[in-house]
């Protein structure tokens, strides 16, 4: 497909600076641009490339002021990163979608399958499963008895959805993810063994959720583990039994949310963050990478760093002192020796 810079600007409610008739037929990184490509500049670290890029047009902020001559046509928008996301989404939607049910798929008679679905090779759909309209279920997916998949949702190859788990509409779950495995519940016994506590609940994933590859969302002991509307979970994220992840929260790779913890809405957790069990994080909480949250966060919008996690300003002040500890240790040791000498006199 081919568009002009003017057409792209009109679509994104932006303005053109340069040739509005320049032809665009692909999207490329600004440092790898070529004729016919549209790039974007959202991070100032990449500004150097706008003066040498081979792209025909570049999306920039409305207030961008170039420090030199720019060879490409500029399309000024409010937010280049969001604008490129809109264009990529349109490109993705324009790609042809697979349809039909492969003959090797096993679908139990009591299952309900919606209209215009794709069910790939070696998929298993259990008893009383409900699959909505326009769903795409790729090879080797397992849908356990009583599970439900909402309209227009996608399960990539190897996803396992255990029995009675509910997935909403417009969800995307990537390869290898397991929804509804048993929560980690064991009771110590008198003979130093551990007795398994049956996990009889389920997982509820609301609409417009995306979960990366090889993530694990455990079923609850009782009730439900809940992933609320708009949540985005990265690869290798672990959400334990009875946890609740609030609306539009994003959690980066290798993070773990322990059992019965509640993460508020619009929170952001960096990579390898750990949240202990039975605590709550207020709405808008931000947690830096590798931090460990061990207490309730009651104030909305707080940024936490470190292990144990504390407010970012306190952490940065403490870390500044930490860097001087060797010198402080020498000074303290010297003072102790001087005091001992004074005592001996």
Measured on CA atoms in the order 300, 306, 312, 314, is the torsion positive or negative?
positive
Look up 34 and say whether it is catalytic: no
> Which residue is catalytic, options 34, 241, 278, 324?
241
E strand or H helix at 320: helix 312-322
Check if the beta carbon of residue 311 is closer than 8 Å to that of residue 294: no
**Torsion, Cα of 45, 46, 51, 55 (10° steps):** -170
Beta bridge partners of 205: 167, 227
Pairing label, strands 303-305, 286-287: parallel
HSE-CB at 322 with a 13 A cutoff on CA atoms is 7
Question: What is d(CA 247, CA 266) in angstroms, rounded to the nearest whole number?
Answer: 6
Question: What is d(CA 38, CA 23) in angstroms, rounded to the nearest whole number?
Answer: 9
Token pair, residue 178, equals 């397991």
Token pair, residue 67, equals 């420090």
Question: What is d(CA 256, CA 215) in angstroms, rounded to the nearest whole number?
Answer: 10
**Torsion, Cα of 333, 339, 344, 345 (10° steps):** 140
| Active site amino acids | 241
């Amino acid at each position: 497909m081919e568009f002009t810079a003017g057409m792209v600007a009109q679509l994104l409610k932006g303005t053109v600076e340069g040739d509005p008739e320049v032809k665009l037929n692909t999207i490329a990184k600004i440092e790898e641009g070529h004729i016919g490509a549209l790039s974007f500049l959202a991070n100032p670290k990449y500004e150097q490339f706008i003066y040498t890029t081979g792209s025909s047009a570049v999306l920039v902020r409305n207030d961008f002021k170039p420090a030199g001559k720019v060879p490409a046509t500029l399309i000024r928008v409010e937010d280049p990163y969001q604008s490129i996301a809109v264009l990529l989404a349109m490109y993705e939607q324009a790609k042809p979608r697979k349809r039909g049910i492969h003959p090797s798929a096993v679908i139990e008679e009591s299952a309900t399958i919606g209209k215009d679905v794709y069910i790939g090779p070696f998929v298993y759909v259990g008893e009383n499963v409900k699959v909505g309209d326009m769903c795409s279920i790729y090879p080797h997916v397992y849908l356990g008895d009583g599970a439900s998949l909402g309209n227009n949702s996608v399960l990539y190859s190897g996803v396992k959805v255990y029995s009675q788990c509910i997935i909403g509409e417009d969800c995307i779950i990537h390869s290898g993810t397991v929804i509804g495995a048993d929560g980690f519940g064991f009771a110590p016994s008198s003979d130093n063994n551990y007795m398994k506590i049956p996990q009889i609940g389920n997982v509820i994933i609301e609409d417009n959720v995306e979960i990366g590859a090889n993530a694990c969302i455990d079923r609850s002991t009782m009730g439900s583990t809940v992933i609320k509307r708009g949540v985005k979970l990265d690869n290798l994220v672990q959400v334990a039994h009875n946890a609740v992840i609030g609306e539009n929260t994003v959690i980066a790779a290798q993070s773990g949310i322990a059992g019965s913890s509640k993460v508020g809405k619009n929170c952001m957790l960096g990579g390898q963050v750990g949240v202990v069990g039975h605590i709550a994080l207020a709405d808008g909480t931000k947690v830096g990478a590798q931090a460990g949250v061990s207490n309730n966060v009651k104030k909305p919008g707080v940024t936490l760093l470190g292990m144990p996690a504390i407010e970012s300003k306190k952490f940065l002040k403490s870390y500044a002192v930490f860097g001087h500890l060797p010198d402080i240790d020498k000074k303290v040791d010297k003072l102790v020796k001087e005091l001992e000498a004074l005592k001996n006199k």
